[in-house]
Chain A
Amino acid sequence: MSRVRGAQQVDGFERSARFWLRAYPVRWRAVRGDELIGVLRDLAAPDATHLPLREGLGLLRAGWATRWRDGPPLGTRLKYRWLELPIPPRYREWARDDIDGRWFVTRRFLRPLAPILVAIWGVPIAIGGPPIDAVPALAVVVVGLPFALRFDLLRPQHDYLRAAAATRNLLPRAGEPPTPGGFGQAWGPRPRLTARVGTILAGTGLALGAVMWTTTALIAPRGLALAGCQPEPGANSCFTIDPGPWDPQEWAAVAVIAVIVGLGLAGLAMRRTARLLGDRPAQPARVLVSRAPRVVGALVLLVPLAGWQAWLEATGRWVVLVSPWAAAICLLMLPGALVAARVARRGPSDLALVDLWQIGVHGRAPRVDPWVVAVVRVPPAAAAPSGPDAPTGDGTAIAT
């Protein structure tokens, strides 16, 4: 069985070989990948349909060795990764692969979380202390969240992180001339999430959150109770916060108020939308992005994590603490999100999520997005910086 990759037929052998080749750095594959696959074909039996496992493991070992040899030494890596110091110029190509990589954001978020995880879980185990009940669940959340972020749930934040890292590491330093084939800055359009995908994400997430956390807040057996105590000599008062029975009635009043306020805000947003939606300006410096598969992937990962947390509180394993407030926030925002989803579905197709936010929340017509500066590779023929009149660079912007 074969399929088309670009203009070429790709058979099972090549797919298998390219899978193992992913052990090599992106730049290495771009230059040598086809050549190496040719050698692998020459070495393989004429009727081979897959790369032999032994050869694949050899590529895995050699690929990671190449990654290590190709990149900066350990000290430079640690300074780049943990202290966010600029990478030395000779490692800029390595840094570009890193910043452009699929796992960049995950690595970025794992960095501060790893020592926290070690501290709360590893240290008790290391000193032989009792295990902490909540730690395994917390560990899953702590580790799972960055992996969920890989699906670009927080796309603007991702863009910011990548753009900041690219600006810090890739651009020529003061006094350093731009090099053809190196990196420079150019103006480009700003990517914005479409209103349809954004409101579906927000509406689905808020609806699921409202159901899960409201149910938890209503049935949870254990909460925190404020109790008076005997003050010590010289003290005016004394109180303690201890686990105790959870009374959902007071919270129910808060929930009702949240729903009423949410409905009122949704009505306000609806009137604003009717008034201002037609005043949207043209957006020449904007490109709409969908990212629907990534959004679904993020929901698939995050909802079970949130569900687990709700279950721990609902069954009394954890004191109910997060669910009542999370439920109130969901109930407050859900009506507005549903209004936004309805407008996005029936409104113009070029509507961005940020447009609805500016209209519904701020009560003003959407602003015109400005051109943004992106880090791009300097074309060999034109090393001079470009301006808004020539905003495209070479189409290889890392982030905007």
Chain B
Amino acid sequence: MALSEQTYLVLLALADEPRHGYGVVQEVRTLSDDRVKLGAGTLYGILDRLVAAGQAEVSNEVVVEGRLRRYYRLTPGGRAVVEAHTAELAALARRARRVLARPAFGGV
């Protein structure tokens, strides 16, 4: 499954601990420096696809102040995906730094 930025951020949000839907939204905002604000529809579309792909799963459910909260966590497969994608991004960032460090010649 090709990872969009939003999907990658949701995977990252689940990487350190299980989170419920609202917790994922908050963590994604933090990880993206308040740039990505997930709507509920978008979030559950991503969670559906991750669960169907075996990259995330439901860990438990609790009811808080009358609201059902279902917690999600990464599966080993999901963790491998997010680690691989993070490594790709890190390698890309290293290559980008090397390119930007070269002196610029010519121009138009």
Contacts and interface: CB of A to CB of B under 8 A. Distances in A.
B40 interface: yes
Interface of A: prevailing SS: helix
Interface string B1-30: 000000000000000000011100100000
A54 B38 CA distance: 12
B45 A38 contact: no
Contact of A43 (B20, B25, B69): B25
A62 B42 contact: yes
Nearest to A61: B41
B41 A41 contact: no
Interface residues of B, number: 18
A62 B42 CA distance: 6
Contact of B67 (A32, A42, A55): A42
Contacts of B22: 38-39, 42-43
B70 interface: yes
Given A34-B68, A66-B48, A39 B21 contact: yes
B interface SS class:
helix
A350 to B, nearest CB: 43
A59 B41 CA distance: 5
Interface string A217-250: 0000000000000000000000000000000000
Interface string A20-36: 00000000000010111
A35 B21 contact: yes
B81 interface: no
Contact of A40 (B40, B45, B66, B70): B40
A63 B44 CA distance: 9
A58 B21 contact: no
B43 interface: yes
B69 A63 contact: no
A58 B40 contact: yes
A58 B45 CA distance: 11
B41 A63 contact: yes
B103 interface: no
Contact of B25 (A35, A39, A59, A69): A39
Interface string A331-369: 000000000000000000000000000000000000000
B107 interface: no
B45 A35 contact: no
User: Which interface residue of B41, B42, B49, B66 has the most chain A CB atoms within 10 A?
Assistant: B41
Ranked 6 nearest A-B pairs via Cβ:
A62-B41, A38-B67, A42-B22, A39-B21, A58-B41, A58-B39
Interface of B: 20-22, 25, 39-45, 48-49, 66-70
21 contacts: A32-B44, A34-B68, A35-B70, A36-B21, A36-B40, A39-B22, A41-B67, A42-B21, A42-B22, A42-B25, A42-B67, A43-B22, A43-B25, A43-B40, A58-B39, A58-B42, A59-B41, A60-B41, A61-B41, A62-B40, A66-B45
Given A58-B40, A58-B41, A61-B41, 17 more contacts: A34-B67, A36-B40, A36-B44, A37-B67, A38-B21, A38-B22, A38-B67, A38-B68, A39-B22, A39-B43, A42-B22, A42-B25, A43-B22, A54-B39, A59-B40, A60-B41, A63-B41
